[in-house]
Amino acid sequence: MARGFAHDFISALRAVFGDVGVLMLLVGAPVLYGFFYPWFYGQEVVQRVPVAVVQHDGSGLARQMLRFAQASPRIEVTLVTGDEAQAQQALLDGRVMGYALLPRDLKRRVVRSEEAVVPVYANGAYPLAAKQVQYGFAEAFGTVSAGVELRRLTAGGQSALQAQASRSPVNLQMQALFNPTEGYGSFVVAAVAIIILQQTLLMGGALLVGTWREQGLDRAPARTWLARLLALCTLGWLSGLYYFGWIFVWHDYPRGGNPWGALALLAVFVPAVAGAAALLGWWLANRERAMQVVLFTSIPLAFVGGFSWPAEALPQLLQALRWLSPSTAAIQASLRLNQAGAPLEAALWHLSVLLALALLGWVAVLWLGSRRADLPGDGRK
């Protein structure tokens, strides 16, 4: 029994390494994605975003605000003009990603202790750049505003320390706990890695099972199918360890918060995907069709995964259907266990969903395999 199972397991691995298409999907694609996908986000944080400053006020205060904006590492002032239409045209042309308008009565309002508003406009089509534009101007102008207020308080008779305490009685210090650099790569790659692991295993597994269906090798006992599923899982587990244990370390992404929890996640996530891949390949019964069906689903799965778009904003039907994909529960569990270091109990629901999907998929595959193995013919017209 054990010898027969080992033979079936080795035969399944030989089938993988003997099929170039399957080998590239199950082994080559995860390795290549691990190298090249994070490379596009290597800079992590957008800096030196080109901006414009519209000066309608020629006072010393306005010039000081301009100097502080030019010193900000977040933005780079590439255009200083007195014509707002010119700044708007530069924004439309893409030469700048935003601009600040210093109004004519800026100095007068400040001297009279009136509210002074400095509008800041940013290109909302690029949220990362728009965020830097707003933060850059806010920090620069906020520093100038603080200096003006401190001078006003000291002129009223307060000491420098008293003025500092009066202006800011409570100091607020913000620190990102689970993404210290606040980088986009650290945010997106941690979740997209799960989708990469799923889609490569799903396509490769469905391609392999579709080939077996075409060749009539689907007529096999439950023992053989169990060995085949375990062979797919072995490759999936190795890919998962490659990402969790090396790619995240190499790119210095947040990781390792709960390593045993991350291993528990891989233990149930990979079998859930392997079962889905076998069922998909069985249903399609065609190796090329498996690629066509799975390839276009990556972006929708990322959209409903709950990290790029709030799940609560999805239609009720999609909120329910999204749990049929193992990546949905795996992304949420991975962010909790691997990035945030949460205890296993915090992801117990998501792990239970993956375990249920794995059990349903494997039972269905074993039932289909044993049923067809009992047929006198191959059962297909």
Model pLDDT, residue 98? 96
d(CA 151, CA 168): 14
Average confidence (pLDDT) over 81-103: 94
Which H/E stretch holds residue 100?
strand 98-102
Average confidence (pLDDT) over 251-259: 78
Least reliable range by pLDDT among 59-73, 162-176, 231-245, 250-264: 162-176
Domain 49-167 belongs in CATH node 3.40.1710.10: yes
Sign of the dihedral through C-alpha 306, 310, 312, 313 = negative
Cα three-residue angle 13-14-15, rounded to 5 degrees: 90
pLDDT tens per residue, range 191-222: 899 999 999 999 999 999 999 888 888 778 88
Average confidence (pLDDT) over 87-92: 95
At 112, the pLDDT band (50, 70, 90 cuts) reads confident
Output the average pLDDT for the chain. Answer: 86
Model pLDDT, residue 108? 85
Cα three-residue angle 233-238-242, rounded to 5 degrees: 145
Cα three-residue angle 268-272-275, rounded to 5 degrees: 140
At 43, the pLDDT band (50, 70, 90 cuts) reads low
Query: HEC profile for 152-208?
Result: HHHHCCCCHHHHHHHHCCCCCCCCCCCCCCCCHHHHHHHHHHHHHHHHHHHHHHHHH
Start-to-end Cα distance in the chain: 33
Would you say residue 309 has pLDDT above 60?
yes
At 168, the pLDDT band (50, 70, 90 cuts) reads low
Are the C-beta atoms of 91 and 52 separated by less than 8 Å? yes
Tell me the percentage of the chain whose pLDDT exceeds 90.
49
Strand, helix or coil for residue 218: coil
At 342, the pLDDT band (50, 70, 90 cuts) reads confident
102-106, 175-179, 182-186 — which one is most confidently predicted on average? 102-106
The more confident residue out of 108 and 370 is 108
Average confidence (pLDDT) over 10-36: 92
Least reliable range by pLDDT among 139-153, 204-218, 224-238: 139-153
Task: Map tokens 């307060």 to a residue.
Answer: 158
Tell me the percentage of the chain whose pLDDT exceeds 70.
92
At 159, the pLDDT band (50, 70, 90 cuts) reads confident
Residue among 369, 193, 210, 200 nearest 273 (CA) = 200
Average confidence (pLDDT) over 119-136: 91
C-alpha distances out from residue 51 to 13, 48, 136, 270, 307, Å = 56, 9, 10, 47, 30
pLDDT tens per residue, range 273-289: 999 999 999 888 887 78
Residue among 43, 86, 53 nearest 251 (CA) = 43
Model pLDDT, residue 287? 79
Model pLDDT, residue 197? 95
The more confident residue out of 172 and 84 is 84
- Residue 206 contacts by C-beta under 8 Å, 6 or more apart in sequence? 277, 278, 280, 281, 284, 290, 293, 294
d(CA 286, CA 290): 7
Are the C-beta atoms of 205 and 281 separated by less than 8 Å? yes
C-beta atoms surrounding 99 within 10 Å: 27
The more confident residue out of 270 and 60 is 270
Beta bridge partners of 122: 98
Would you say residue 167 has pLDDT above 70?
no
- Residue 72 contacts by C-beta under 8 Å, 6 or more apart in sequence? 136, 137, 139, 140
Model pLDDT, residue 80? 94
Instruction: Locate the domains of the chain by residue range.
Output: 2-41+181-373, 49-167
How many distinct helices (H) and strands (E) make up the chain?
A: 17, 4
Model confidence, pTM: 0.77
Average confidence (pLDDT) over 327-340: 91
Model pLDDT, residue 274? 96
